[in-house]
Structure 1
Amino acid sequence: MNELGKKTLLIVDDEPDIRDLLCDALVQKGYQTVSADNGANMWRCLEETNIDLVLMDLYLQEEDGLQLARDVRARFEDMPIMMLTGKGDETDRILGLELAADDYMMKPFNLRELTARIHALLRRSMRQAPAAQVISSDHECLQFGTWTLDLTSRQLRNAQGEEIILTLGEFSLLETLATRPDRVLTREQIIDMSRGLETEVFDRTVDVLILRLRRKLEANPKAPQFIKTQRGLGYLFQGPVTKSVGGCAK
C-alpha cells in the first residue's frame, strides 16, 4: 500500500485497451494501479512496488497466465489474485481455482461487479492479530473441534485465535456445510445454498473448493475429520457443531 493509504493493484493483460480501461476505472474507485503486458514486466512491478492485489488475464498471447499466477502464489503466498478470462472452458476455471486464483471474472465483465469483488478480496486479505480483534457480544458463531467459525464477521479462527484467511467461495461453502452437520448434501444443493457461489459454478468447482478447505482445516486432508465424501451422493460435515451467540472469540 502506498504512503497515502491507497491500495495498489497490478493489472496484467496484453491488451492495451483492457489495461487502460481497468486502470482508469480502478483509479476512479480510489485505487492506485500499475500495469504489465507480460511476465517480465509483471515481476518488475512486483519487485519495485508494494502490490496489494494482482488482476491477471488467464490468456496472454505468448505466455501462460495460469502458470504466472501459480508462480506469483508460490512466491507471495497471501497475495490476492483475481483472474480474467474470455473463454468459457470449465477446465481452465477449475485449474485456476485449484492452483492460484482467489476469484474469477469472465470477459466481458461488469466494472461495478469487478470492483466489488476486488474490494472483497482486499478486505479478506487483511490479517489482524488476534489480540487486536474485537468481537461484538452478538456475533453468531459455530464451534467444531478446535475451530471457531464467526458467521457475523465471516472469519475462521483456530485454537490459538488466529484467523485463517478464506476466499469468498471457501467461506460460503464452509458455512453451508457447517450449518447443516451430519447431513449429506449433493453438489447441486451446495451450489444452491452457498451465497458465495452464485456465478460460473460447476459441480467440479465444488470439489476443488472442498480440497482447498480440507488443506486449511484438516490435520490430514486425505483422511478428513470434518468434511467427508459420500461417494455417489455428495459431502457431509461431521458434527458435533455447537452454535453460540456472543463470547465466541478464542
Structure 2
Amino acid sequence: MVEDNHSVCEMMEMFFKKEQWQVTFAYDGLQAEDKFKNDSQKWDIILLDLNLPKKDGMQVAADIRRISPTVPLIMLTARDTESDQVLGLEIGADDYVTKPFSPITLIARIKALYRRSALSAHDDVNKQSSSFDVETKHFKMNTKTREVYLYDQPITDLTPKEFDLLKTLASKPRQVFTRSQLLQLVWDYEYYGDERTVDAHIKKLRQKLEKVGPQVIQTVWGVGYKFDDEGQAQ
C-alpha cells in the first residue's frame, strides 16, 4: 500500500490483519518504486495513492506498468474529477477508490480484483494444457495458462481486467454487451453507473490488439461493445 497519510495506513493495517493479509507500506512515490523494483514478482496486489510526495502516483503507476503489465493495481485518489480517474485507468489501473473511502468497501474491492487475477495467476505456474477454451476465427485464449493469440500473434501485456474484459466479449462473439452488463460481469460488483471505467479499459485494450491486426472490438453506438472477428482479414 502506497499512502503518505500514516493514519490511513494504521487504520487499514488493522483491517488487513483481520483478513490475515501481509502488507508492506510505502509513504512516497520513490520508496514505492524501490520496493517494487527490488522484487516485482513478490506482490499480489498494489494499492496506490495518486497524491504522493517525491513522485506523483500517476508516474509511479506508469513505471509499475512498464515493469509488470499484469500486477493487479487499485488507485486511491482524493481527486474526484473524471479526467484524473480516466487517466488512471488508461495508465493501467484495474480499479480506483475515491477518498474518503470505507475500509470495508476497499477490502471488498481488493477481494473482487484478487478473485479474478491471483487465482488465475497461480494456474499459470502449471501450464499443463495447450488447448484453448475460447476460440473464434482469428482469436484463441487459454484461460488457465492465460495465453492469448490474435491473428496468430501473442498478446502478452494484458492487465487482469483487460484479460477478463476480452474473455467476456470473445466468449460470445457478436453479442452486444452494454456497459452496465460489462461492469457487473467483469468487475464483479456494482459500479453505480460509472460507465467511463469500461470505456477507459476498452480504449487501452484496443490499443494493444491493434498492434497485431485489424480491430475486433467494435462499438455499437448507443448500446455498448461487441467482439467480432468474422469479417476481419489480416
TM-score by length of 1: 0.67
Q: 1:134 aligns with which of 106, 117, 128?
A: 128
Q: Which residue of 2 aligns with 1:119?
A: 114
Note if 1:67 corresponds to 2:63.
no
Identical positions, percent: 27
Q: Which residue of 1 aligns with 2:218?
A: 228
Q: Which residue of 1 aligns with 2:187?
A: 196
Note if 1:149 corresponds to 2:149.
no
Contact persistence 1:14–1:60 (CA under 8 A): yes
Contact persistence 1:78–1:125 (CA under 8 A): no
Contact persistence 1:168–1:196 (CA under 8 A): no
1:31 CA drift (Å): 4.0
Deviation readout 1:31-69 (Å, 9 max, x if unpaired): 433212112322332355554143211233675322221
SS in structure 2 opposite 1:181? coil
1:16 CA drift (Å): 0.6
Q: Which residue of 1 aligns with 2:173?
A: 181
Contact persistence 1:124–1:165 (CA under 8 A): no
Q: 2:86 aligns with which of 67, 87, 94?
A: 94
Q: Which residue of 2 aligns with 1:18?
A: 8
Q: 1:108 aligns with which of 89, 95, 102?
A: 102
Larger Rg: 1
Contact persistence 1:156–1:164 (CA under 8 A): yes
Judged with a 3 Å threshold, the aligned counterparts in structure 2 of structure 1 residues 77 and 181 are, in CA distance, closer, same or farther, namely closer
Deviation readout 1:210-250 (Å, 9 max, x if unpaired): 123224444447x41x212345554332155xxxxxxxxxx
Extract unaligned runs of 5+ from structure 1.
1-10, 241-250
Judged with a 3 Å threshold, the aligned counterparts in structure 2 of structure 1 residues 182 and 48 are, in CA distance, closer, same or farther, namely closer
Judged with a 3 Å threshold, the aligned counterparts in structure 2 of structure 1 residues 234 and 76 are, in CA distance, closer, same or farther, namely closer
Which is further off, 58-67 or 90-99?
58-67
Distance 1:47 1:184 in 2: 40
Q: 1:55 aligns with which of 36, 47, 53?
A: 47
Distance 2:120 2:154 in 1: 14
Q: Which residue of 1 aligns with 2:149?
A: 158
Distance 1:216 1:57 in 2: 26
1:96 CA drift (Å): 1.0
SS in structure 2 opposite 1:71? helix
Distance 2:107 2:39 in 1: 26
- Pairs aligned (count): 223
Distance 1:173 1:78 in 2: 14
Contact persistence 1:19–1:35 (CA under 8 A): yes
Which structure's residues are more often helix, by fraction?
2
Which structure's residues are more often strand, by fraction?
1
